[in-house]
Structure 1
Amino acid sequence: MSQMMEARKVQKVGYSTLIVSLPKDWVEQVSLKQGDIVTFRREPDGGITVYPGLTRERENFRYVIDADICDAPNLLTRIITANYLTGHDTIQIVAKKELSQRHLEEVRAVSRRLTGLGIVEQSLKSVTLQSFVDPTKFPIYGLMRRLQIILSSMLETGVKAVVEGRPNLAEEVLHMEEEADRIYWMIIRQLLLAVLDRRVAKEVGIDGPMHVVGNRVIAKSLEQMGDLASHIAQEALRLKGDVKGVDAKLSKGILDFSDKVRLLIEDSFNALMKGDLKKSNDCIERVASCEQLERTLTTDIMRSVKAVNLAVGLRSIVWDVGQMAKYSEAIAEVAINRHLEAPSAFCAWEKA
């Protein structure tokens, strides 16, 4: 979407009414027609922002959760999380008598897991959580870049933990997953707020509603990769260094496979950020070679590893790495779709 400024002359109609015409390309883009309503927002710097349709300022509410009916495991956690994701800043958990120990533990755990959410008031019957996050301070692509960097590190560290038999590295991956989860939930919150408030969308770098959908696909793909890397670390802990007796060639093959997929993830995200259609296409083509390498490694594991538990564990790890390659394909597909939102050398636009 173009961000350039445009000057328009103020015209006078009748004795006192002043009017300014709307840019034709913008009117066509948002499908405005005669009789439609637009909303004006007065900005602190004296400017005015125009939005198509009715746009209202968000009202301040306190969102009260009845803990007494949250009797299923983790139900309270999920309701608090959902409130946070939908942009509810003040969340109160109440009980008629006293909050149970289980509910208090859930409240504390979820407040640690979600960025900027803290306990501001507490009594025997209620706890109030407050979000102190200013959404405009967290650009969406910066958050996604941080998540991509963390999961790439998780993949590299997790596979090293397996091949080198180092459980301390696996534990580090599980700590990294906690940070990855916090960033993921923050991304989802930003996307939902962008849908509700056009000003927030603009501030965090989202150009339009279609980008919200595409960014949701990207964020979920990155989050799924993080879960797969975490599973690799869990397998490393379960195997407890048993892989030290595995054939060196097989161990190197698993490491090389991990490096190949890690580079694919990084390239697909970089292609998205740079709007590089050719690079995105190349990333999609590389997924097939990763699938072939996964099958080759699986065959080698089944043939050369005699211990059943070890073979199953290594097969699971190779499968996890292969799935990460497939999730990178979704990122590349979004990048191609986004490139075609405007005319280019690849695809010209002609009126029918």
Structure 2
Amino acid sequence: MRVAEIEMGEGFTRDITAKYLYGYDIIRLKSKGPRINPYQREEVKKSLQQLIGVEIVEEDAREITLQCLLSPSAVPLRRTMKRTYLIAAKMQEEVITALKELDDRLAKNVINRDEEVNRLYFLIVRQLRAAIQDPRLAEKMGVTAIECLDYRAVVKSIETLADHAVKIAKQIPLLQKTPIPQTVLQKILELSKITQEIHSNAIEALLRKDVNLAAKTIDKKPDLEKALTEAYEEILNQAAVLATPLNTIVDMLGRIAECGIDIADLT
């Protein structure tokens, strides 16, 4: 078992996440003072909410011991990656629905779901790093070293996709007072549809190792650029109160599509 020690100074929760990602099985947190204060204990608990499989196994006045009880080979890597993608893709679908209906509650739900994506992202990165360090574990997980590197880039693109959906969700409260013109909304919906097709096909191509589908996905770039241009042109004549959040939404959709193209490039 790999053991790490962390002194509980400023930013110690970032160190917990880092040690988790680097594959440590046991993390010992030690107080700099005579005892761990209640605030620090609460911060530890909050930090663990982001880390799948980690539990407090021992604690006293000056030390807390964390242990990751989940074996890297216990969680199917590709299935977990697909699950992470499906959550992120659903976030985009729901945030566009929230935009059409100007539904603040649905937008907030999208923002909250980002935590689930982050938890799975951290777990997958931990698995991949463990596999790279241990060839026998990689064989047990059914991945090569090259696939580990590719999957690391893929899961980062998925996590970024979710982050962009959150940024779109944060624009929706800014659009409550002024109706979105139907011509603008229609262009955004068309752009979103192309974006969803790109990342959906990219993930399918990756998991099926379908080079032809990946190539067709990359060939969607002209359609994407056309849809982006048309959306920006529709927004151009809108008042700033509308144009600013709408431009952000279009920009984020373009970046989401780029995440999909990046995934297709790795197939």
Q: One fold, TM greater than 0.5?
A: yes
Distance in 2, matches of 1:124 and 1:309, equals 54
Q: CA deviation at 1:326?
A: 0.8
Q: Deviations over 1:70-100 (max 9, x none)?
A: 22xxx21211011111111111111131224
Give the corresponding residue for 2:249: 317
Residue 263 in structure 1 maps to residue 197 in structure 2: yes
TM-fit CA distance, 1:124: 2.6
- How far apart, CA to CA, are the structure 2 residues paired with 1:312 and 1:137? 46
Aligned pairs for 1:97-108 (under 5 A) are 97-108=34-45
Aligned residue pair count: 266
1:61 and 1:198 map into 2 onto residues whose CA distance is 17
Deviations 1:182-220 (A, max 9, x none): 1111110010000111222122221x2111111111111
Confirm or deny: 8 A CA contact 1:162 1:241 kept in the other structure.
no
Matched, 1:242 2:177: yes
Paired position in structure 2 for 1:301: 235
State the distance in 2 between where 1:242 and 1:283 align: 38
> Helix, strand or coil: the match of 1:124?
coil
Is the counterpart of residue 221 in structure 1 residue 221 in structure 2? no
Gap change, CA 1:242 and 1:163, over 3 Å in 2: farther
Residue type matched to 1:310 in 2? L
State percent identity of aligned pairs: 28
Out of 66, 71, 74, the position equivalent to 2:7 is 66
CA distance in structure 1 between the aligned counterparts of 2:40 and 2:215, rounded to whole angstroms: 49
- Which of 135, 146, 158 lines up with 2:83 in the alignment? 146
Residue matched to 1:285: 219
How many Å apart are 1:281 and its aligned residue? 0.8
* Matches of 2:140 and 2:118, distance apart in 1: 23
Partner of 1:178: 115
Residue 165 (1) aligns with residue 102 (2): yes
CA contact (8 A) 2:118 2:159 kept: yes
Amino acid at match of 1:331: I
- Please give the secondary structure, in 2, of the residue aligned with 1:113: coil
The answer (yes or no) to whether the contact 1:164–1:241 under 8 Å persists in 2 is: no
> Secondary structure of 2:161's match?
helix
CA RMSD of aligned residues (A): 1.5
Normalised by the size of structure 2, how large is the TM-score? 0.94
Residues 1:326 and 2:252 are matched in the alignment: no
Q: Per-residue deviation at 1:300?
A: 0.6
CA distance in 2, matches of 1:203, 1:110: 30
Post-superposition offset of 1:101 = 4.0
Residue 139 of structure 2 corresponds to which residue in structure 1?
A: 202
Unmatched runs of 5 consecutive residues or more in structure 1: 1-59, 336-352
Specify every segment of 5 or more residues in structure 2 that has no aligned partner in the other structure, as ranges.
none
- The one-letter amino acid paired with 2:210 is D
1:247-269 CA-to-partner distances (Å, cap 9, x unmatched) read: 11221221221122112111011
Output the CA distance in 2 between the equivalents of 1:311 and 1:275: 41
Instruction: Name 1:211's counterpart in structure 2.
Output: 147
Matches of 1:202 and 1:191, distance apart in 2: 12
Q: Does 1:82 align with 2:18?
A: yes
Residues 242, 310 of structure 1: 8 Å contact kept: no
Q: Which of 182, 188, 195 lines up with 2:125 in the alignment? A: 188
Q: 1:133-160: CA deviations, max 9, x gaps?
A: 1211212211110111111100011122
> Would you say the 8 A contact 2:81–2:124 is kept in 1?
yes
Verify the 8 A CA contact 1:167 1:240 in the aligned structure 2: no
Aligned position for 2:53? 116
- Cα distance in 2 for partners of 1:115, 1:81 equals 11
Q: Is the 8 A contact 2:50 2:115 kept in 1?
A: yes
**Counterpart in the other structure of 1:127:** 64
Q: Which amino acid aligns with 1:81?
A: T
Structure with bigger helix share is 2
Q: Per-residue CA shift, 1:162-191, capped at 9, x if unaligned?
A: 221101111111121111111111110010
Q: Distance in 2 between matches of 1:121 and 1:233?
A: 40
- Contact 1:119/1:128, CA 8 A, preserved across alignment: yes
Structure number, greater radius of gyration: 1
In structure 1, distance between residues paired with 2:71 and 2:2: 17
